[in-house]
Amino acid sequence: MELNKYLKLSPEVAEALAAGKPIVALESTIISHGMPYPQNVETAYACERVCRENGAVPATCAIIGGKLCAGLTAEEIDYLGREGKKVTKASRRDLPMLIAKGMDGATTVAATMIIAHMAGIKVFATGGIGGVHRNGQDTMDVSADLDELGKTPVCVVCAGAKAILDLPRTMEYLETKGVPVIGFGTDELPAFYTAKSGIPLTWRADDPKVVADAVHAADDLKPWPKPTKRAWSARRSPPSCWPGSRRSPAAAASPPTSSWCSTT
């Protein structure tokens, strides 16, 4: 089923969406780039099986022939596993060219979030997200996953960020981007293959309903309500923290979509 010219849903995912069944998005980079064949394919099948055993429909995401796919066949999963690193590792920046060239791509956390959101899937489960690399303050090597988490409304259930990363700076970046990081059953950030990182979390939840309520609240708060007419009339001139700036008449006539001088 094609919802638009870019997005393609498997029949199982399309039926689940129509019926309001729970769906869990899954990434595909772990298949092509994360493990050798056939363990990669066996792991992908196992992840899908766990979703089904718990009452959800799995939606493994990838780009196949230039189509953004939510839900793959067993043959497509096996293809990604066999091709391995010949398949493009796709993040947000890669999607336009993969579409234009009709190519295949295995989705990272960022690209999977984009496809899931386009399809109307609210939950995505993965292993470890990307983050700020060590010495990232000098190299600017920061995963696009972090920006995506700050702007694409999908709940990502994960084992924290990958342990090889700079985890304290990753948490600072997520805070700056306004990403709620909730420890489910833990007060500490997991570090991918270990439950302990030494980094405390601000928020903990032990009840899945609390997490679900937080997800719904986050959705309701985006985009932020626009200021009232009275509040906007008091903000017509540029704020003091914008020195020497001048706004065009057209810009001055319309309210901003976000705060000019917010601090975190």
Give me the domains of the chain, ranges plus CATH numbers: 7-220 (3.40.1790.10)
Q: Give residue 225's identity as a one-letter amino acid code.
A: P
What is the DSSP pairing of strand 67-70 with strand 88-90? unpaired
pTM listed for this prediction: 0.83
Summarize pLDDT for 233-253 with one digit per residue, the tens: 444 444 444 444 444 444 444
List, by residue number, the catalytic residues. Answer: 27, 162
Mean pLDDT score of the chain: 88
Mean pLDDT to the nearest integer, 8-33: 97
Mean pLDDT to the nearest integer, 109-116: 98
